[in-house]
Amino acid sequence: MNDMTSLRLESVVKKFPQREGSGEFTAVDNVSLDIRKGEFITLLGPSGCGKTTTLRLIAGFESPTSGRINLGGRDITMQPPNKRDMTMVFQSYALFPHMSVFDNVAYGLHLKRLSRSDIDKKVRATLDLMGLGALATRRPNQLSGGQQQRVALARALVMEPQVLLFDEPLSNLDAKLRVQMRGEIHRLQRRLNITSVYVTHDQDEAMALSDRIVVMNAGKIEQMGKPEDIYRYPATRFVADFIGRANFLDTKIQAIDDNCAVVSAFGQTFRVPLQQTPFSVGEHATLMMRPEAIRLAHDPSAKQVRIESAMYLGTEVEYMVMVDDQLWSVADTDPRTGRAFDEGATAGMTILESSLHLLKASH
């Protein structure tokens, strides 16, 4: 373990007894993670993939069936949750309804037996930081959803924990507020430099906030990496599909040359730079391309496709086009063109070679 590691999960497994019958259900399946000091990590995945369970294992609300958890070099696997130097921000905010905003934020400091004046100073500072100074005497039910969210955050931040844990904290807010709070969490975390583990099923949130994203599926880690890498070079078809939209084409590797695979599609030859995953010549593979990496034009020499639907969304025009027998998604993000093609029209399609990516054949 190096000095920079703050939190470490070693082959953590969590099994729950099956609700019916006597079997067991593996919610978290052999998860290992190294989280650096000050890093913002997001656990991303579809509902039920084990994100919350992983977070609760870190917090200590669940104990792992096997595996170990380390914090700052100490084994905390058996340490009770109230002794762990972490605080959690809950999806439901979980504010104490019988206490004022001030008392909510002061709660943890009281338990630490800080002096009254210290508590007062810290709570005031945190409330001001969160723009809650004027609301200190209110009760939670007298606050808007966004304000409640801030109080929940303030209550966790004031503890100055080694690790902050978030369980889908923004999922109860409306879209506009969500984007705004997202910015605020980003700003605060960078400023205070607190190691954070953040659970969400919203890929935009994950991309916007994270230093690294951990994509989970069925209790396992599917891929781990920087947001750009995950988006551009997904390791599996699941990740490619879950993060953004993607189009796939079965292909065969014709040659490998200078760490680039040579493949052909629609009678054209492409050179695709290889990432970690090794490929061999002659292997079947899946070519992935993002909707914004495809261009449509009135070009009779290009591959001809039929426009099935065209939706104007402002920032882009979203087309569904029929490519041979597959429905592909194409995004025209050029601000100079409007809806250039109507439904039922035919267009010439070109693919930007530099944005192609190869995946292992899925079957």
Partner 1 sequence: MFTLQRTLKDFRRTFGDPVLALGLLVAVLFVFFTILLPIFSMISAGVSGDGLTSLQRFITDPVYLNIIRNTIVMGLTVALGGTLLGFLFAYVQVKVKAPFKRFIHIVALIPIISPPFALASAIIILFGRSGLITKGIFDTRCLWGEGRGCNDIYGLDGLTLVLSLSLFTVAYMNLKGMLEALDPALDEAATNLGGSKWHIFRTVTVPMLVPGLAGSFLLLFVEAIADLGNPLVLGGNYEVLATRIYISIVGLFDTNAAAALSVVLLVPSLTVFMVQRYWINRASVVSVTGKPTGKPQQIEHPVVRWVLWGIVMAFCLLIVTIYGTIFVGAFTEVLGVNNAFTLSHFDFVINGYGAEAMTDTTLLSAIATPIAGLMGIFIAFLVVRKPFPGRGALDFATMLGIALPGTILGIGYLIVFNNPIELTIPIGETPLVIPIIPKLTGGRALLGGALAIILVYIVRSVPAALRSGVSLLSQIDPAIEEASTSLGANNAQTFRRITLPLIRPAFLSGLMYAFARSMTTISAIVFLTTPQTRIMTAQILNEVENGRFGNAFAYCVILIIIVLISIAILTFLVGGSSAATRGLQGGR
Ligand X SMILES: Nc1ncnc2c1ncn2[C@@H]1O[C@H](COP(=O)(O)OP(=O)(O)O)[C@@H](O)[C@H]1O
Q: Does 48 bind partner 1 (CB under 8 A)?
A: no
Q: Tell me the closest approach of the beta carbon of residue 62 to ligand X, in angstroms.
A: 7
Query: What does the binding site for ligand X look like in residue numbers (CB under 6 A)?
Result: 16, 25, 27, 45, 47-53
Q: Does 171 bind partner 1 (CB under 8 A)?
A: no
Q: Which one of 19, 98, 191, 363 is in contact with partner 1 (CB under 8 A)?
A: 98
Complex with partner 1: residue 148 or 195, whichever CB lies closer: 148
Q: Does 135 bind partner 1 (CB under 8 A)?
A: no
Q: Tell me the closest approach of the beta carbon of residue 75 to partner 1, in angstroms.
A: 15
Q: Which one of 17, 46, 133, 183 is in contact with partner 1 (CB under 8 A)?
A: 17
Phi, psi of 194 (to 5 degrees): -95, 130
Q: Does 81 bind partner 1 (CB under 8 A)?
A: yes
Residues in the interface with partner 1 (CB under 8 A) total 38
Pick one of partner 1, ligand X, Mg ion, none as the site partner of residue 341 (Cβ within 5 to 8 A by kind).
none
Q: Which one of 14, 51, 122, 155 is in contact with partner 1 (CB under 8 A)?
A: 155
Phi, psi of 146 (to 5 degrees): -65, -40
Q: Does 143 bind partner 1 (CB under 8 A)?
A: yes
Q: Which one of 92, 277, 309, 326 is in contact with partner 1 (CB under 8 A)?
A: 92
Pick one of partner 1, Mg ion, ligand X, none as the site partner of residue 48 (Cβ within 5 to 8 A by kind).
ligand X
Q: Tell me the closest approach of the beta carbon of residue 52 to Mg ion, in angstroms.
A: 3
SS3 letters across the chain: CCCCEEEEEEEEEEEEECCCCCCEEEEEEEEEEEEECCCEEEEECCCCCCHHHHHHHHHCCCCCCEEEEEECCEECCCCCHHHCCEEEECCCCCCCCCCCHHHHHHHHHHHCCCCHHHHHHHHHHHHHHCCCHHHCCCCHHHCCHHHHHHHHHHHHHCCCCCEEEEECCCCCCCHHHHHHHHHHHHHHHHHHCCEEEEEECCHHHHHHHCCEEEEEECCEEEEEECHHHHHHCCCCHHHHHHCCCCEEEEEECCEEECCEEEEEECCEEEEEECCCCCCCCCCEEEEEECHHHEEEECCCCCEEEEEEEEEECCCCEEEEEEECCEEEEEEECCCCCCCCCCCCCEEEEEECHHHCEEEECCC
Complex with partner 1: residue 2 or 47, whichever CB lies closer: 47
Q: Tell me the closest approach of the beta carbon of residue 111 to partner 1, in angstroms.
A: 4
Q: Tell me the closest approach of the beta carbon of residue 258 to partner 1, in angstroms.
A: 52
Pick one of ligand X, partner 1, Mg ion, none as the site partner of residue 27 (Cβ within 5 to 8 A by kind).
ligand X
Cα–Cα distance, 264 to 251 (Å, whole number): 7
Complex with Mg ion: residue 185 or 331, whichever CB lies closer: 185
Interface with partner 1 by CB under 8 A: which residues?
17, 59, 61, 63, 65, 78, 80-83, 86-88, 90-98, 107-108, 111-112, 139-141, 143, 145, 148, 151, 155-156, 159, 165, 172
